[in-house]
Amino acid sequence: MTSKILKCKRKYAIYLPPGYKISERSYPVLYLLHGSGDDQTGWIQFGEVQYIADKAIKEGSVTPMIIVMPDANTGKKGYFNDIKGHWRYEDFFFEEFIPYIEKSYRIRGKKEFRAIAGLSMGGGGTFVYALHHPEMFASASPLSAAARDLSSEEIVKKYVGADVGYSKLEITEYRNLYNIHFLIENIPAEKIKKVRWYIDCGNDDFLYEGNSLVHIAMRKKGIPHEYRVRDGRHSWVYWRESLPEVLKFVSDGFHR
């Protein structure tokens, strides 16, 4: 598809459930975000999403759904707007990508039939997108999420792309916009509760601390969520085992 906001063409991968071509029904949708270093093919090639989704649907443990995998590795890397406002990926995602996808395919385009999930960088994107737009998603499932506490300018510059030359106020405002811990502390709990949360991170994952702190912050704020810690590290072995559970969690939210 062509993006006017990003001034370039954007690739995406899409999983259509068995029977899509011969049916006339509309389907719920899961937006599945890849991690740093991958693109829209990551979940297909390494995550085996087609095999896992086909198997779950055939067994009846998951409702048929469309799974959409955008590319966040072309041009610049990441799911967020940059501090300059030159690369507005988040704006593209909500203003262009979702409308394009949900007009192009038979998708039930309402909150209760829309979910988001992702791993690592995509897990961070999942947190931020669902916190920024709780009215858009029935559920959010961050896996091994990049959920660092952006508590210093140095961290922001390294992980979020805030360049030198900006005032402390500009950097602080930008940091808070994408600081998952800040968002959870400052967004009213009732808004966050509008999303069903499934958080999963391995006990040997280098990102365990940020995810653990998110879990603790949500517990303190009384925000219902599923929190899973299994044996594993930051790897596709772990995420392939996570995906069937995510699909079940997402599917449970789609059922009426």
Return the residue matching tokens 């506490």.
Answer: 149
* pLDDT score of 84: 81
| pLDDT for residue 58 | 96
Kindly report whether the global pTM for this prediction surpasses the value 0.75: yes
Evaluate whether 44 touches 71 at the Cβ level (below 8 Å): no
Domain ranges across the chain: 2-254
User: CA-to-CA distance for 6 and 102, rounded, in angstroms?
Assistant: 19
Average pLDDT, the chain: 92
**Res. 190: pLDDT tops 70:** yes
pLDDT tens, position by position, 131-185: 999 999 999 999 999 987 766 555 555 545 555 567 777 778 888 899 999 999 9
Q: Class for domain 2-254, per CATH?
A: alpha beta
Residues 1-50: tens digit of each pLDDT: 999 999 999 999 999 999 999 999 999 999 999 999 999 999 999 999 99
Alpha-carbon span 37 to 42, nearest angstrom? 9
Answer left, alpha or beta for residue 232, where phi above 0 means left and psi between -120 and 50 means alpha.
left
Using CA atoms, how far apart are residues 227 and 212, in angstroms rounded to an integer? 9
pLDDT tens digits for range 203-225: 999 999 999 999 999 999 999 99
